[in-house]
Amino acid sequence: MSPKMSLPPLLLLLLSPLLTLEPAGATLIRIPLRRVYTGLRTLNPLRGWEKPAEPPSLGAPSPGDKAFFVPLSNYMNAQYYGQIGLGTPPQNFSVVFDTGSSNLWVPSVRCHFFSLPCWFHHRFNSKASSSFRPNGTKFAIQYGTGRLDGILSEDKLTIGGLRGASVIFGEALWEPSLVFTFAHFDGVLGLGFPVLAVGGVRPPLDILVDQGLLDKPVFSFYLNRDPEAADGGELVLGGSDPAHYIPPLTFVLVTIPAYWQIHMESVKVGTGLTLCAQGCAAILDTGTSLITGPTEEIRALNKAIGGVPLLMGEYLIQCSKIPTLPQVSFRLGGVWFNLTAQDYVIQIARGGVRLCLSGFQALDMPPPAGPLWILGDVFLGSYVAVFDRGDGKSRARVGLARARVRGVEP
Protein backbone atom coordinates (compact mmCIF):
# COMPACT_ATOMS: atom_id res chain seq x y z
CA MET A 1 0.00 0.00 0.00
CA SER A 2 2.99 2.26 -0.34
CA PRO A 3 3.73 5.19 -2.64
CA LYS A 4 6.92 5.16 -4.68
CA MET A 5 10.11 5.33 -2.60
CA SER A 6 13.62 6.47 -3.56
CA LEU A 7 15.51 6.92 -0.29
CA PRO A 8 18.82 5.02 0.08
CA PRO A 9 18.88 2.80 3.18
CA LEU A 10 20.70 4.09 6.25
CA LEU A 11 23.28 1.60 7.38
CA LEU A 12 24.05 3.19 10.74
CA LEU A 13 22.29 1.48 13.65
CA LEU A 14 22.71 2.43 17.30
CA LEU A 15 21.81 -0.36 19.64
CA SER A 16 20.79 -0.06 23.29
CA PRO A 17 19.26 -2.85 25.39
CA LEU A 18 17.04 -1.01 27.86
CA LEU A 19 14.41 -1.89 30.43
CA THR A 20 11.48 0.51 30.24
CA LEU A 21 8.37 0.38 32.36
CA GLU A 22 5.36 2.60 31.99
CA PRO A 23 4.93 5.16 34.82
CA ALA A 24 2.60 4.06 37.61
CA GLY A 25 -0.11 6.52 36.59
CA ALA A 26 0.02 5.82 32.85
CA THR A 27 -3.25 5.08 31.07
CA LEU A 28 -3.04 2.47 28.33
CA ILE A 29 -5.62 2.14 25.54
CA ARG A 30 -6.19 -1.61 25.17
CA ILE A 31 -7.70 -3.07 21.99
CA PRO A 32 -8.49 -6.82 22.15
CA LEU A 33 -7.34 -8.82 19.12
CA ARG A 34 -8.91 -11.83 17.45
CA ARG A 35 -7.09 -14.40 15.30
CA VAL A 36 -8.03 -15.80 11.89
CA TYR A 37 -6.32 -18.41 9.71
CA THR A 38 -6.37 -17.32 6.06
CA GLY A 39 -4.95 -20.35 4.29
CA LEU A 40 -1.64 -20.31 2.40
CA ARG A 41 -1.55 -16.53 2.06
CA THR A 42 -0.15 -13.46 3.73
CA LEU A 43 -1.68 -10.02 3.52
CA ASN A 44 1.24 -7.70 3.01
CA PRO A 45 3.07 -9.31 0.08
CA LEU A 46 0.02 -8.46 -2.02
CA ARG A 47 0.83 -4.78 -1.88
CA GLY A 48 3.36 -3.08 -4.09
CA TRP A 49 6.68 -2.57 -2.28
CA GLU A 50 8.49 0.58 -3.30
CA LYS A 51 10.29 3.36 -1.44
CA PRO A 52 9.06 6.85 -0.44
CA ALA A 53 9.60 9.76 -2.77
CA GLU A 54 10.35 12.27 -0.02
CA PRO A 55 12.07 12.18 3.38
CA PRO A 56 9.54 11.10 6.01
CA SER A 57 9.01 13.18 9.14
CA LEU A 58 8.63 11.70 12.60
CA GLY A 59 5.83 14.06 13.62
CA ALA A 60 5.55 16.54 16.48
CA PRO A 61 6.76 15.87 20.03
CA SER A 62 4.07 14.58 22.37
CA PRO A 63 4.33 15.25 26.12
CA GLY A 64 2.94 13.19 28.96
CA ASP A 65 2.75 9.55 29.92
CA LYS A 66 -0.85 8.63 29.09
CA ALA A 67 -1.32 5.47 27.14
CA PHE A 68 -4.39 3.52 26.02
CA PHE A 69 -5.62 -0.47 25.14
CA VAL A 70 -7.57 -2.52 21.50
CA PRO A 71 -8.28 -6.70 22.16
CA LEU A 72 -6.80 -8.38 18.96
CA SER A 73 -8.33 -11.47 17.35
CA ASN A 74 -6.25 -14.36 16.13
CA TYR A 75 -7.45 -17.52 14.40
CA MET A 76 -5.06 -20.41 13.78
CA ASN A 77 -2.09 -18.09 14.33
CA ALA A 78 -2.42 -16.44 10.96
CA GLN A 79 -4.16 -13.10 10.97
CA TYR A 80 -4.93 -10.68 13.80
CA TYR A 81 -7.64 -8.07 13.81
CA GLY A 82 -9.71 -5.92 16.20
CA GLN A 83 -12.70 -3.63 16.25
CA ILE A 84 -13.06 0.09 15.60
CA GLY A 85 -16.06 2.37 15.07
CA LEU A 86 -16.62 5.05 12.41
CA GLY A 87 -19.30 7.73 12.49
CA THR A 88 -21.95 8.91 14.99
CA PRO A 89 -23.33 6.61 16.28
CA PRO A 90 -20.30 4.36 15.66
CA GLN A 91 -20.58 1.78 12.87
CA ASN A 92 -18.37 -1.14 13.89
CA PHE A 93 -15.72 -2.71 11.64
CA SER A 94 -13.10 -5.41 12.12
CA VAL A 95 -9.75 -4.16 10.85
CA VAL A 96 -6.24 -5.55 10.54
CA PHE A 97 -3.88 -3.29 12.51
CA ASP A 98 -1.11 -3.19 9.94
CA THR A 99 2.36 -1.73 10.62
CA GLY A 100 3.18 -2.14 6.91
CA SER A 101 0.78 0.57 5.64
CA SER A 102 -0.54 3.94 6.80
CA ASN A 103 -4.12 4.33 5.52
CA LEU A 104 -7.45 3.46 7.13
CA TRP A 105 -10.09 2.03 4.80
CA VAL A 106 -13.33 0.04 5.08
CA PRO A 107 -15.91 -1.12 2.49
CA SER A 108 -18.59 1.40 1.49
CA VAL A 109 -22.34 0.89 1.20
CA ARG A 110 -21.88 2.60 -2.18
CA CYS A 111 -19.46 -0.05 -3.45
CA HIS A 112 -19.71 -1.49 -6.97
CA PHE A 113 -22.38 -4.18 -7.38
CA PHE A 114 -19.80 -6.64 -8.75
CA SER A 115 -17.29 -5.99 -5.94
CA LEU A 116 -17.77 -9.32 -4.12
CA PRO A 117 -15.98 -8.43 -0.84
CA CYS A 118 -18.62 -5.75 -0.17
CA TRP A 119 -21.35 -8.36 0.11
CA PHE A 120 -19.45 -10.38 2.71
CA HIS A 121 -18.47 -7.52 5.03
CA HIS A 122 -19.76 -4.60 7.06
CA ARG A 123 -20.11 -1.47 4.92
CA PHE A 124 -19.90 2.16 5.96
CA ASN A 125 -23.11 4.15 5.44
CA SER A 126 -22.44 7.89 5.46
CA LYS A 127 -26.17 8.68 5.62
CA ALA A 128 -26.40 6.91 8.98
CA SER A 129 -23.77 9.18 10.58
CA SER A 130 -24.53 12.66 11.93
CA SER A 131 -20.82 13.58 12.02
CA PHE A 132 -19.97 12.59 8.41
CA ARG A 133 -18.16 15.12 6.23
CA PRO A 134 -17.78 14.38 2.52
CA ASN A 135 -14.35 14.69 0.92
CA GLY A 136 -14.79 12.89 -2.39
CA THR A 137 -11.12 12.68 -3.39
CA LYS A 138 -10.46 9.45 -5.27
CA PHE A 139 -7.84 7.05 -3.88
CA ALA A 140 -6.32 3.78 -5.06
CA ILE A 141 -4.05 1.27 -3.32
CA GLN A 142 -2.09 -1.06 -5.58
CA TYR A 143 -1.89 -4.75 -4.68
CA GLY A 144 -0.03 -7.53 -6.42
CA THR A 145 -3.35 -9.02 -7.51
CA GLY A 146 -5.21 -5.82 -8.35
CA ARG A 147 -6.25 -2.43 -7.09
CA LEU A 148 -8.39 -1.23 -4.25
CA ASP A 149 -10.31 1.86 -5.41
CA GLY A 150 -12.59 4.28 -3.60
CA ILE A 151 -13.11 7.78 -2.26
CA LEU A 152 -11.86 9.58 0.81
CA SER A 153 -14.32 10.63 3.53
CA GLU A 154 -14.10 12.22 6.98
CA ASP A 155 -15.81 11.08 10.17
CA LYS A 156 -15.26 10.32 13.87
CA LEU A 157 -13.11 7.35 14.90
CA THR A 158 -13.84 5.21 17.97
CA ILE A 159 -10.96 2.96 19.04
CA GLY A 160 -10.31 1.23 22.37
CA GLY A 161 -12.63 3.60 24.21
CA LEU A 162 -11.17 6.73 22.60
CA ARG A 163 -13.85 8.79 20.86
CA GLY A 164 -14.05 12.00 18.89
CA ALA A 165 -10.95 11.87 16.67
CA SER A 166 -11.87 13.23 13.24
CA VAL A 167 -10.07 11.09 10.63
CA ILE A 168 -9.92 10.95 6.85
CA PHE A 169 -10.40 7.35 5.71
CA GLY A 170 -11.05 5.45 2.51
CA GLU A 171 -14.48 4.13 1.53
CA ALA A 172 -13.68 1.17 -0.72
CA LEU A 173 -15.90 1.09 -3.81
CA TRP A 174 -14.06 -1.61 -5.79
CA GLU A 175 -12.07 -4.52 -4.28
CA PRO A 176 -11.02 -6.87 -7.09
CA SER A 177 -8.77 -9.13 -5.01
CA LEU A 178 -10.37 -12.39 -3.88
CA VAL A 179 -8.22 -12.32 -0.73
CA PHE A 180 -10.66 -9.72 0.65
CA THR A 181 -13.79 -11.69 -0.23
CA PHE A 182 -13.27 -14.43 2.34
CA ALA A 183 -11.18 -12.41 4.80
CA HIS A 184 -12.48 -12.25 8.36
CA PHE A 185 -11.66 -8.54 8.52
CA ASP A 186 -13.55 -5.69 6.88
CA GLY A 187 -10.70 -3.25 6.31
CA VAL A 188 -7.21 -2.15 7.32
CA LEU A 189 -5.94 0.43 9.80
CA GLY A 190 -2.35 1.35 8.93
CA LEU A 191 0.21 2.03 11.66
CA GLY A 192 3.16 2.82 9.40
CA PHE A 193 4.79 6.24 8.95
CA PRO A 194 3.03 9.20 7.26
CA VAL A 195 5.19 8.97 4.13
CA LEU A 196 3.47 5.67 3.22
CA ALA A 197 -0.04 7.13 3.32
CA VAL A 198 -1.73 7.12 -0.08
CA GLY A 199 -3.10 10.56 -0.95
CA GLY A 200 -1.01 12.27 1.74
CA VAL A 201 -3.71 11.44 4.31
CA ARG A 202 -2.75 11.92 7.96
CA PRO A 203 -2.56 8.42 9.55
CA PRO A 204 -4.95 7.61 12.43
CA LEU A 205 -2.16 7.36 15.04
CA ASP A 206 -0.94 10.85 14.15
CA ILE A 207 -4.48 12.21 14.36
CA LEU A 208 -4.95 10.76 17.85
CA VAL A 209 -1.75 12.50 18.98
CA ASP A 210 -2.52 15.75 17.10
CA GLN A 211 -5.97 16.02 18.69
CA GLY A 212 -4.67 15.35 22.20
CA LEU A 213 -6.38 11.98 22.65
CA LEU A 214 -3.05 10.14 22.84
CA ASP A 215 0.02 11.60 24.53
CA LYS A 216 2.72 9.57 22.77
CA PRO A 217 3.01 8.06 19.26
CA VAL A 218 3.89 4.70 20.79
CA PHE A 219 2.04 1.38 20.52
CA SER A 220 2.79 -2.28 21.15
CA PHE A 221 1.49 -5.68 20.05
CA TYR A 222 1.03 -8.76 22.17
CA LEU A 223 -0.08 -11.63 19.92
CA ASN A 224 -1.40 -14.72 21.66
CA ARG A 225 -0.15 -17.75 19.69
CA ASP A 226 -2.25 -20.33 21.55
CA PRO A 227 -4.82 -21.53 18.95
CA GLU A 228 -7.01 -22.87 21.76
CA ALA A 229 -7.20 -19.48 23.51
CA ALA A 230 -10.33 -17.35 23.16
CA ASP A 231 -8.41 -14.10 22.83
CA GLY A 232 -5.81 -13.29 20.20
CA GLY A 233 -3.85 -10.78 22.25
CA GLU A 234 -3.84 -7.03 22.56
CA LEU A 235 -2.84 -3.85 20.77
CA VAL A 236 -1.76 -1.23 23.30
CA LEU A 237 -1.88 2.43 22.23
CA GLY A 238 0.29 4.98 24.03
CA GLY A 239 2.86 2.59 25.47
CA SER A 240 3.35 -1.03 26.51
CA ASP A 241 2.27 -3.35 29.30
CA PRO A 242 5.23 -5.03 31.06
CA ALA A 243 2.89 -7.89 32.00
CA HIS A 244 3.01 -8.90 28.31
CA TYR A 245 6.78 -9.54 28.14
CA ILE A 246 9.87 -10.69 30.02
CA PRO A 247 12.20 -7.69 30.45
CA PRO A 248 14.44 -6.15 29.38
CA LEU A 249 13.34 -4.60 26.10
CA THR A 250 16.08 -4.43 23.46
CA PHE A 251 15.68 -1.28 21.36
CA VAL A 252 16.71 -1.16 17.71
CA LEU A 253 16.64 2.07 15.71
CA VAL A 254 14.45 2.37 12.63
CA THR A 255 16.74 2.79 9.61
CA ILE A 256 14.12 4.10 7.16
CA PRO A 257 11.03 5.67 8.80
CA ALA A 258 8.41 4.49 6.29
CA TYR A 259 7.84 0.82 7.04
CA TRP A 260 9.15 -0.20 10.47
CA GLN A 261 12.48 -1.15 8.90
CA ILE A 262 15.51 -2.09 10.98
CA HIS A 263 18.97 -3.58 10.44
CA MET A 264 19.27 -7.32 11.07
CA GLU A 265 22.80 -8.48 11.80
CA SER A 266 22.50 -12.21 11.14
CA VAL A 267 20.22 -15.26 10.99
CA LYS A 268 21.33 -18.69 12.23
CA VAL A 269 19.71 -22.10 11.81
CA GLY A 270 20.98 -24.43 14.53
CA THR A 271 24.77 -24.50 14.52
CA GLY A 272 25.33 -25.25 10.84
CA LEU A 273 23.77 -22.52 8.70
CA THR A 274 24.24 -18.74 8.72
CA LEU A 275 22.05 -16.44 6.58
CA CYS A 276 22.07 -12.65 6.23
CA ALA A 277 25.78 -13.07 6.95
CA GLN A 278 26.77 -9.49 6.04
CA GLY A 279 23.71 -7.96 7.68
CA CYS A 280 20.43 -7.19 5.89
CA ALA A 281 17.26 -5.11 6.05
CA ALA A 282 14.22 -6.39 7.92
CA ILE A 283 10.70 -5.06 8.39
CA LEU A 284 8.53 -5.71 11.45
CA ASP A 285 5.08 -6.21 9.96
CA THR A 286 1.90 -7.19 11.79
CA GLY A 287 0.02 -7.51 8.49
CA THR A 288 2.18 -10.41 7.30
CA SER A 289 1.40 -13.82 8.77
CA LEU A 290 4.77 -15.55 8.30
CA ILE A 291 8.46 -14.68 8.24
CA THR A 292 9.55 -14.02 4.66
CA GLY A 293 12.94 -13.64 3.06
CA PRO A 294 14.82 -13.89 -0.25
CA THR A 295 14.07 -17.12 -2.12
CA GLU A 296 17.59 -18.60 -2.02
CA GLU A 297 18.04 -18.01 1.70
CA ILE A 298 14.56 -19.28 2.61
CA ARG A 299 15.16 -22.35 0.45
CA ALA A 300 18.37 -23.09 2.39
CA LEU A 301 16.62 -22.45 5.72
CA ASN A 302 13.70 -24.76 4.93
CA LYS A 303 16.08 -27.45 3.67
CA ALA A 304 17.84 -27.30 7.04
CA ILE A 305 14.54 -27.85 8.89
CA GLY A 306 13.25 -30.52 6.50
CA GLY A 307 10.69 -28.37 4.69
CA VAL A 308 9.05 -29.71 1.53
CA PRO A 309 8.19 -27.00 -1.09
CA LEU A 310 4.54 -26.13 -1.71
CA LEU A 311 2.97 -23.42 -3.88
CA MET A 312 3.53 -19.69 -3.38
CA GLY A 313 6.92 -20.04 -1.68
CA GLU A 314 5.60 -22.01 1.31
CA TYR A 315 6.90 -25.28 2.79
CA LEU A 316 5.37 -28.31 4.49
CA ILE A 317 6.92 -29.78 7.65
CA GLN A 318 6.59 -33.36 8.92
CA CYS A 319 4.71 -32.88 12.22
CA SER A 320 6.49 -35.77 13.97
CA LYS A 321 9.85 -34.03 13.42
CA ILE A 322 8.95 -30.87 15.40
CA PRO A 323 10.69 -31.95 18.65
CA THR A 324 13.97 -32.55 16.78
CA LEU A 325 14.06 -29.43 14.59
CA PRO A 326 16.83 -26.83 15.12
CA GLN A 327 16.40 -23.41 16.65
CA VAL A 328 16.30 -20.42 14.27
CA SER A 329 17.86 -17.25 15.68
CA PHE A 330 17.77 -13.61 14.57
CA ARG A 331 20.44 -11.14 15.76
CA LEU A 332 18.92 -7.69 16.32
CA GLY A 333 20.44 -4.91 18.40
CA GLY A 334 23.31 -7.16 19.42
CA VAL A 335 20.92 -9.71 20.95
CA TRP A 336 19.89 -13.15 19.65
CA PHE A 337 16.13 -13.67 19.37
CA ASN A 338 15.51 -17.41 19.24
CA LEU A 339 12.57 -19.32 17.77
CA THR A 340 12.04 -23.00 18.53
CA ALA A 341 10.14 -25.29 16.16
CA GLN A 342 7.09 -24.83 18.42
CA ASP A 343 7.38 -21.10 17.61
CA TYR A 344 8.00 -21.28 13.86
CA VAL A 345 5.92 -24.29 12.74
CA ILE A 346 2.23 -23.53 12.19
CA GLN A 347 0.14 -26.52 13.22
CA ILE A 348 -3.34 -26.77 11.70
CA ALA A 349 -5.87 -29.36 12.87
CA ARG A 350 -8.92 -29.88 10.66
CA GLY A 351 -11.33 -32.83 10.87
CA GLY A 352 -8.87 -35.04 12.72
CA VAL A 353 -6.06 -34.29 10.27
CA ARG A 354 -3.01 -32.33 11.43
CA LEU A 355 -1.02 -30.27 8.94
CA CYS A 356 2.26 -28.56 9.77
CA LEU A 357 3.52 -25.58 7.76
CA SER A 358 6.89 -23.87 7.92
CA GLY A 359 6.67 -20.31 9.23
CA PHE A 360 9.30 -19.26 6.66
CA GLN A 361 8.10 -18.22 3.20
CA ALA A 362 10.11 -17.23 0.14
CA LEU A 363 9.32 -13.71 -1.05
CA ASP A 364 11.64 -11.60 -3.20
CA MET A 365 11.31 -7.84 -2.83
CA PRO A 366 12.87 -6.11 -5.85
CA PRO A 367 15.27 -3.15 -5.45
CA PRO A 368 15.24 -0.43 -4.33
CA ALA A 369 13.01 -1.63 -1.46
CA GLY A 370 14.54 -5.11 -1.39
CA PRO A 371 16.09 -7.45 -0.82
CA LEU A 372 14.73 -7.69 2.70
CA TRP A 373 13.20 -9.94 5.31
CA ILE A 374 9.72 -9.46 6.79
CA LEU A 375 9.38 -10.44 10.42
CA GLY A 376 5.65 -11.12 10.52
CA ASP A 377 3.33 -12.67 13.08
CA VAL A 378 5.38 -15.88 13.47
CA PHE A 379 8.12 -13.69 14.97
CA LEU A 380 5.86 -11.12 16.65
CA GLY A 381 3.89 -13.88 18.38
CA SER A 382 7.02 -14.93 20.24
CA TYR A 383 8.38 -11.42 20.86
CA VAL A 384 6.36 -8.40 21.95
CA ALA A 385 7.23 -5.36 19.83
CA VAL A 386 6.97 -1.79 21.14
CA PHE A 387 6.79 0.63 18.19
CA ASP A 388 8.02 4.09 19.18
CA ARG A 389 7.72 6.82 16.53
CA GLY A 390 10.02 9.12 18.49
CA ASP A 391 9.78 12.90 18.43
CA GLY A 392 11.84 15.88 17.32
CA LYS A 393 14.63 14.93 19.73
CA SER A 394 14.77 11.15 19.39
CA ARG A 395 14.66 8.75 16.44
CA ALA A 396 12.02 6.12 15.84
CA ARG A 397 12.84 2.73 17.34
CA VAL A 398 11.38 -0.71 18.08
CA GLY A 399 11.70 -2.44 21.44
CA LEU A 400 11.66 -6.26 21.51
CA ALA A 401 11.28 -8.71 24.42
CA ARG A 402 10.17 -12.32 24.79
CA ALA A 403 6.39 -12.54 25.10
CA ARG A 404 5.15 -13.82 28.44
CA VAL A 405 2.97 -16.92 28.23
CA ARG A 406 -0.66 -16.01 28.98
CA GLY A 407 -1.65 -16.98 32.51
CA VAL A 408 1.94 -16.95 33.88
CA GLU A 409 2.36 -14.19 36.46
CA PRO A 410 5.35 -11.79 36.22
Residue 248 has pLDDT above 90, yes or no: yes
* CATH superfamily of the 240-402 domain: Acid Proteases (2.40.70.10)
Residue 93 has pLDDT above 70, yes or no: yes
- pLDDT tens for residues 113-128? 667 677 777 889 999 9
pLDDT for 68:
40
- SS3 per-residue string spanning the chain: CCCCCCCCCCCCCCEEEECCCCCCCCCCEEECEEEECCCCCCCHHHECCCCCCCCCCCCCCCCCCCCEECEEEECCCCEEEEEEEECCCCEEEEEEEECCCCCEEEEECCCCCCCHHHHCCCCECHHHCCCCEEEEEEEEEEECCEEEEEEEEEEEEEECCEEEEEEEEEEEEECCCHHHHCCCCCEEEECCCHHHCHHHCCCHHHHHHHCCCCCCCEEEEEECCCCCCCCCEEEEECCCCHHHEEEEEEEEECCEECCEEEEECEEEECCCEEECCCCEEEEECCCCCCEEECHHHHHHHHHHCCCEECHHHCEECCHHHHHHCCCEEEEECCEEEEECHHHHEEEEEECCEEEEEECEEECCCCCCCCCEEEECHHHHCCEEEEEECCCCCCCCEEEEEEECCCCCCC
Residue 183 has pLDDT above 70, yes or no: yes
CATH topology for 31-36+66-214 is Cathepsin D, subunit A; domain 1 (2.40.70)
Residue 164 has pLDDT above 60, yes or no: yes
- pLDDT tens for residues 197-238? 988 999 999 999 999 999 899 999 999 877 666 678 999 999
Lowest mean pLDDT across 26-30, 131-135, 151-155, 329-333: 26-30
Residue 145 has pLDDT above 70, yes or no: no
- pLDDT tens for residues 4-62? 232 222 222 222 223 333 433 457 899 998 876 544 333 343 343 333 333 232 222 22
Q: Please determine whether the domains at 31-36+66-214 and 240-402 fall in the same fold group of CATH.
A: yes
- pLDDT tens for residues 256-271? 999 999 999 999 999 8
- pLDDT tens for residues 52-86? 333 232 222 222 333 344 444 433 334 678 999 99
Give the residue with greater pLDDT, 289 vs 52: 289
Mean pLDDT value across the chain: 80
| pTM of the shown model | 0.84
Q: Where in the sequence numbering do the catalytic residues fall?
A: 98, 285
CA distance 150 to 129: 19
Residue 399 has pLDDT above 60, yes or no: yes
Which among 61, 66, 67, 56 has a CA at the least distance from the CA of 391?
61
Domain boundaries, given as residue ranges, for the chain = 31-36+66-214, 240-402
pLDDT for 27:
78
The mean pLDDT value for 371-378 works out to 93
